[in-house]
DNA sequence: GCAAAAGTGTTTGGATTACACCCATGC
DNA sequence: GCATGGGTGTAATCCAAACACTTTTGC
């Protein structure tokens, strides 16, 4: 058992990678950036940055998300932490993954100083990434799948007003299964949704009704009763 | 948006806290140490240490567990990472929590150089701890509870050979509920258990049969079929 | 009318629940 | 015999899966 003076340990760096998920065309997408700087210049990567000395981890995650998307007030979820001694070529950098769920339609992303280019890629079609980012992405997507089953976070990915079929497609894509329409609707019956009079537009078939998540009613349910969201 | 030279960021320290859970007398216990050193000298804490420069996080977690218990080959589970800028009085120390599940009966713990004293405490009776360790413990216990429902890790806490009642007590303590004996047994029927001829000893009532987890059979089930452990 | 997808009802079998009862052991 | 938990069966109910059917829109 070796001992080193406490001060000699202040030799590490700590970064944070923000996996940003969105939903589009029935597919869960992830936001990738093309690195403008070495190392791994010109490779696709998950947006991330070093954590500043005065920042809590969640603040850093919020900052990174804001710099890239100008979005505020997005709930962030901590995922796994990765610290292999050789994972960063320039030193000992330990990184925590966070993920955010956003509505792709509600904003557009611009490349920033640390990225030349930015794009959305369906999770199941992600190319080889810089660093250990494929590992990070996969483990974070697994966590997303788990949280989708016991927290109502699918509604952070869906448009504010969505059709039940869009909701079904989200789960079908995430879990790689096909579901029965009638049974899916029965299953989500306990989830508090607001049914709007509004209908889908510009479709060449019967337009679907639009729904939104009733978060007030959800809060009441979880607070008072023995209700538990479940998919 | 401020920028700092990359090198100025190698100023952090990284530690790891190992929450060690055990099961005894129908209660899930956690191993606490009494700190021998400042800061928080003489307060109870979760065992932890700085991560050495050549260690992966999981190696550090294994080392800490081994130093304290001499146990090897225990599966470690990563939990949350905590990095509030002020969480450590002596500098910027970010910490990841890991948890391990052990059989209390199979070894005994000795205090090490960094702890004067060591004790097992039922999770629901933990006193005020050093640093943000209550926060760490609570979030880690929540994760344990989740994993108990979808992975067969209860068998890492139970004795190698256990009674069905012990197993039931574990879940009852974890989730704070009472369960019906007959229904519990029906629920666990899909879990591959080996039923031994052996019986409980030294009890003043009808002795219970002993069971053990059939991990080979479990591996086959998860590999081939669409089996999913569930509690 | 036809294609395409929206939307709903019925049947069936398996799981969950509540509850009752019998069994084996120590004292 | 009796106290204590071990161990099991039954009936009612709920839930999920499979599947069929009707409705509404665009063209």
Domain boundaries, chain A: 12-150, 154-222
Q: Does A92 sit within 8 Å of B10, measured CB to CB?
A: yes
Task: Please report where in the chains the tokens 């909701």 appear, as a residue.
Answer: A167
pLDDT, tens digit (0-9, with 9 covering 90-100), for A90-119: 888 999 999 999 999 998 888 777 778 999
User: What pLDDT shows up at residue A148?
Assistant: 98
List the 162-221 stretch of A: residues with Cβ below 8 A of B: none
Q: How far apart are CA B224 and CA A203, in angstroms?
A: 42
- CB of B49 within 8 Å of a chain A CB? The answer is no
Q: CA of A92: which chain B residue's CA is closest? A: B53
Q: Does A51 sit within 8 Å of B2, measured CB to CB?
A: no
Q: How far apart are CA A12 and CA B57, in angstroms?
A: 13
User: What pLDDT shows up at residue B17?
Assistant: 97
List the 99-118 stretch of A: residues with Cβ below 8 A of B: 113
A154-222 is a CATH 3.30.930.10 domain: no
Among A95, A102, A101, CA closest to A45:
A95
User: What pLDDT shows up at residue B161?
Assistant: 97
Q: Does A9 sit within 8 Å of B13, measured CB to CB?
A: yes
What are residue B21's DSSP bridge partners? B30, B101
Whether A209 CB is under 7 Å from strand D: no
Q: Where does the pLDDT of residue A1 fall: very low under 50, low under 70, confident under 90, or very high at 90 and above?
A: very low
| Residue whose CA is minimally distant from D2 C1' | B205
Beta-carbon neighbour count of residue A93 at 10 Å? 23
Task: Please report where in the chains the tokens 């890239």 appear, as a residue.
Answer: A68
- CB of A127 within 8 Å of a chain B CB? The answer is no
Q: List all residues 6 or more positions away from A150 whose beta carbon is below 8 Å from its beta carbon.
A: A228, A229, A230, A231
10-residue mean pLDDT profile of chain B (231 residues): values are 47 90 97 91 94 93 93 95 92 94 91 84 98 98 98 97 98 97 97 95 92 96 88 95
Evaluate whether B229 touches B154 at the Cβ level (below 8 Å).
no
Q: Does A1 sit within 8 Å of B67, measured CB to CB?
A: yes
A82 CB neighbours in chain B (<8 A) are: 57
Q: Regarding beta strands A209-213 and B13-24, do their DSSP bridges make them parallel or antiparallel, or are they unpaired?
A: unpaired
pLDDT, tens digit (0-9, with 9 covering 90-100), for A138-161: 999 999 999 999 999 999 999 999
Among B93, B53, B48, CA closest to A88:
B53
When pLDDT is averaged across residues A161-186 and rounded to a whole number, the result is: 98
How many pairs of residues across A and B have Cβ atoms under 8 Å apart? 85
Helix, strand, coil percentages for chain A (3-state, nearest 5): 30, 30, 40
What are residue B188's DSSP bridge partners? none
Q: List all residues 6 or more positions away from B183 whose beta carbon is below 8 Å from its beta carbon.
A: none
Report how far apart, in Å, the C-alpha atoms of A222 and of each of A229, B147, B164 are: 8, 21, 32
Counting runs of H as helices and runs of E as strands, what totals does chain A give? 6, 9
Collapse the DSSP code of A209 into the 3-class scheme (helix H, G, I; strand E, B; otherwise coil) and give the result. strand
Q: What backbone torsions phi and psi does residue A209 show, to the nearest 5 degrees?
A: -70, 150
User: What pLDDT shows up at residue B1?
Assistant: 32
Domain A12-150, second-level architecture? Alpha-Beta Complex (3.90)
User: What pLDDT shows up at residue B53?
Assistant: 87
Q: How far is B210 from chain A (nearest CA, A)?
A: 33
Altogether, the residues listed in chain B come to a count of 231
Interface test with A, best of B2, B3, B47, B53 (most A CBs within 10 A): B53
Question: Does residue A67 have a pLDDT over 60?
Answer: yes
Window 179-208 of chain B: CB closer than 7 A to strand C: 180-183, 186-187, 199, 203-207
- CB of A90 within 8 Å of a chain B CB? The answer is yes
Whether B209 CB is under 7 Å from strand C: no
């Amino acid at each position: 058992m070796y001992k080193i003076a406490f001060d000699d340990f202040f030799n590490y760096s700590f970064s944070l990678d923000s996996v940003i998920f969105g939903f589009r065309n029935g597919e869960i997408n992830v936001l990738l950036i093309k690195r403008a700087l070495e190392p791994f210049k010109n490779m696709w990567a998950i947006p991330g940055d070093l954590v500043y000395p005065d920042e809590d981890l969640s603040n850093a995650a919020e900052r990174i998300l804001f710099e890239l998307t100008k979005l505020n007030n997005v709930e962030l979820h901590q995922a796994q932490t990765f610290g292999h001694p050789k994972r960063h070529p320039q030193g000992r950098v330990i990184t925590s993954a966070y993920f955010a769920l956003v509505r792709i339609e509600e904003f557009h992303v611009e490349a920033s100083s640390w990225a030349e280019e930015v794009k959305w890629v369906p999770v199941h079609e992600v190319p080889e990434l810089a660093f250990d980012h494929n590992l990070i992405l996969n483990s974070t997507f697994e966590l997303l799948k788990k949280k989708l089953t016991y927290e109502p976070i699918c509604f952070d990915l869906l448009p504010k007003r969505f059709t039940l079929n869009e909701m079904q497609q989200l789960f079908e894509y995430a879990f790689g299964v096909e579901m029965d329409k009638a049974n899916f609707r029965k299953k989500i019956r306990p989830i508090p949704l607001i049914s709007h009079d509004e209908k889908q537009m510009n479709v060449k078939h019967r337009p679907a009704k639009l729904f939104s998540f009733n978060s007030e009613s959800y809060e009441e349910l979880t607070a008072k009763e023995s209700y538990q969201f479940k998919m």
